[in-house]
Amino acid sequence: AQSVTQLGSHVSVSEGALVLLRCNYSSSVPPYLFWYVQYPNQGLQLLLKYTSAATLVKGINGFEAEFKKSETSFHLTKPSAHMSDAAEYFCAVSEGTSGSRLTFGEGTQLTVNP
């Protein structure tokens, strides 16, 4: 069975500081991994995904994530936080050979302080 753990339900950074959101996964087969962002009262938007092509994945809005199999991690980073990055971030895993049945982590609320 697949599962995801996001360390830290709330992360607070200053504008311009490094953003680091942690995600560890458990999967019985090589996983597909995703980071989604949710702004208030909106749906989920894909930031980036890992599908085994490259371990360092670049996404939208300056975010990137590195797949580390030995650590079963897929942490999300951004060098410099913007106020507009404040949102809920979800890490998700999918094992399927068909479609995108996602198992989500519990989410991390990112606050960006001026």
Partner 1 sequence: DTAVSQTPKYLVTQMGNDKSIKCEQNLGHDTMYWYKQDSKKFLKIMFSYNNKELIINETVPNRFSPKSPDKAHLNLHINSLELGDSAVYFCASSRQSGGAEAFFGQGTRLTVV
What is the SS3 assignment for 71? helix
CB of 99 to partner 1, least distance (A): 4
| Cα–Cα distances in angstroms (integers) from residue 39 to residues 63, 109, 111, in the given order | 16, 10, 12
How many residues would you count in the chain? 114
Looking at residues 52 to 81 of the shown chain, list those that interact with partner 1 (rule: CB under 8 A): none
Looking at residues 15 to 34 of the shown chain, list those that interact with partner 1 (rule: CB under 8 A): 32, 34
Nearest by Cα to 4 from 20, 22, 30 = 22
**Residues touching partner 1: how many (CB under 8 A)?**
26
Please give the residue ranges that form the binding site for partner 1 (CB under 8 A). 32, 34, 36, 38, 41-46, 49, 51, 88, 90, 94, 96-104, 106-107
